[in-house]
Structure 1
């Protein structure tokens, strides 16, 4: 697959969030800056679900990557995507064993990764990402890699609405993901590009905090527990500390 242009990347993001998003490159007008909002707030909103995404969008202005103008939502492409870290795995068939965060890293062969701009966006720094470039070994402090599809209902234990906690999980209430890209790909969201008419699958690539995740009875599922009755604010806090998307994986069907 040739390098993904950012319009297609935005279509993939729209498919994941269930919200139509449009690009802007610094809208001018009467919008005021809200310095408390940052890229990781938006990512967390996407994780927690469409309702939180809309709530965040309704009060996001100025330097935030997300803008709301009336009923339309816009993403600052320069502040959200990080093309220098994109990676084309579409023709990769490498079966070598790699490790991330002392867990197996199953590379997303057959997919293209659209990188999100997450460097320096979390208050605890960048150690969770590890070091740049190809390597087979783990480095100190990095988190394991997990994948998350967005269309599976409760019977399999993966939540339906992004990473929003739901009541019908197999091993407990919370956020489910897997290190197995093949498992996750079966739960990917599909969309048809308005730009080129082609059909794609899309899933999230994340890092998951090894101190926060629970290995389920089925070992290829990892759970971030969110107890029943957790407030929206606390849920957002748990997510930010536990599981962080850093790439969108896209594959032509």
Structure 2
């Protein structure tokens, strides 16, 4: 089910805040019409509106890396494991659609660590965090320097959490109803976060990548690329007892003026 190209396009549409259509490769499209992973990354995390095509298409073969997909929906092994010398809370109950990030960054792939099951960290690997996103809210906050509520008391920047339950239960997951399956889903980004640029907040299950007031678009872009990198999209079917309302919360761009 999660390999379906139409469902994948719906997932990206829900996160990107704009309709994205599957690209089947049967006709020529300008490069600007094919949604790049880099554009998706920056748009979600800093909410910057670059020159956008009227219609975007998703080439799943260049956007996703299905070899690294992982089904956590029936995870029963609760053995402790670490990534980047931090506890890695595996996303039990979710399915990971892996993004094609290997070889994408000039500093190599050490931040990802080796693939496959292991309980230990390796040198150079970054810790895992989860990021709920609401692009409409992020755009409004980044433009207006909106003073966030009491929970956003730690500073301006990009918030994420090492606790999948915080990202899910506190309503920071994006939700949508699929036209493909007729079912409702929650969606969360799974990231690696640079420990040298991360601030652990007073509430320790919130991590902050600071973005200083007045940072230019170029500075924000550099910070995002060097500090927090989504490598998977987590999707979970919502059952009848769970809410499927839209999210808006701390685990995105938050600004304190």
Which TM-score tier does this pair reach, normalised by the shorter chain?
Answer: 0.7 to 0.9
Are residues 1:46 and 2:44 paired? Answer: yes
What corresponds to 2:243 in structure 1? none
Describe the shift of the 1:38–1:122 C-alpha distance in structure 2 as closer, same or farther (beyond 3 A).
farther
Secondary structure, counterpart of 2:130 in structure 1: strand
What's 1:156 paired with?
A: none
The equivalent residue for 2:233 is 248
- Segments of 5+ residues of structure 2 without an aligned counterpart are 239-257
Paired residues in the alignment total 228
For 1:174-253, list aligned pairs within 5 A.
174-186=157-169, 187-253=172-238
RMSD: 2.4
Instruction: Identify if the C-alpha distance between structure 1 residues 75 and 32 changes in structure 2 by more than 3 Å, giving closer, same or farther.
Output: closer
Larger relative CO (CA 8 A, sep 6+): 1 or 2? 2
Q: Please give the secondary structure, in 1, of the residue aligned with 2:14.
A: helix
On the 8 A contact 1:21/1:73 being kept in 2, the answer is yes
The residue matched to 2:185 in structure 1 has which SS? strand
Does the C-alpha gap of structure 1 residues 30 and 198 become closer, same or farther in structure 2, counting only changes over 3 Å? closer
Instruction: State how far apart, in whole Å, the 1-side matches of 2:111 and 2:70 are.
Output: 19
Further displaced range: 21-30 or 200-209: 21-30
2:110 is aligned, of 127, 130, 134, to: 127
Give, in whole Å, the separation in 2 of the partners of 1:74 and 1:246: 20
Unmatched segments (≥5 aa) in structure 1? 59-67, 153-158
11-20 or 199-208, which deviates more: 11-20
Q: Are 1:98 and 2:98 counterparts?
A: no
Runs of 4+ residues over 6 Å off in structure 1: none
Residue among 161, 169, 187 paired with 2:138: 161
Residue 169 (structure 2) pairs with residue 171 (structure 1)? no
Per the TM alignment, residue 44 of structure 1 is displaced from its structure 2 partner at its CA by 2.3
Residue 128 of structure 2 corresponds to residue 145 of structure 1 = yes
For normalisation by structure 2, the TM-score amounts to 0.81
Structure 1 length-normalised TM: 0.82
Maintained 8 Å contact 1:113/1:249 = yes
